[in-house]
Amino acid sequence: MAYLVKFAAIAARDLENLYVEKNTAESQAAARWFNELEETVFSLSDYPNRCPATPENAQLRHLLYGSKPHVYRVIYTVDEPHKTVWVLHIRHGARRPFRASELK
């Protein structure tokens, strides 16, 4: 059964910031990268438990997207009873580990 993929407010803001930061409106390559990121995130609807737990919190998972040095972490949780994947944060992989307060 497919899961519903939803974005927390922080993750939606992260996605909007990436759109602007990558200058997606002006560059076809950036637009392609951004669209592939979105497709990858929505692919969690099929197999959400395929990604490992985050080192910061075993209850959360992270999907890595991109290639070095431009790897992004999509931090999410799976709500099994409601068959929903909640995307909590999208951040550059080189950033310091997140704190619990950043995911609220």
**What value does the mean pLDDT take over residues 33-50?**
95
**Mean pLDDT (whole number) for 48-76:** 92
Q: What is the pLDDT averaged over residues 48-55?
A: 94
Domain annotation covers residue 22? yes
Handedness of CA 50, 37, 6, 77 (dihedral sign): positive
pLDDT of residue 4 exceeding 80, the answer is: yes
For residue 78, the model assigns a pLDDT of 97
* 86 occurs within a structural domain: yes
Mean pLDDT score, 73-95 = 93
Q: Is residue 101 part of a domain?
A: no
* Domain contains 77: yes
CATH of the domain at 41: 3.30.2310.20
Domain-embedded: residue 8: yes
Q: Which domain holds residue 46?
A: 4-94
Q: Return d(Cα 8, Cα 6) in angstroms, integer.
A: 7
What pTM, to 2 d.p., does this model score? 0.86
- Average pLDDT score, the chain: 89
Instruction: Quote the CA–CA distance of 94 and 18 in Å, as a whole number.
Output: 15
In degrees and rounded to multiples of 5, residue 76 shows phi and psi of -150, 170
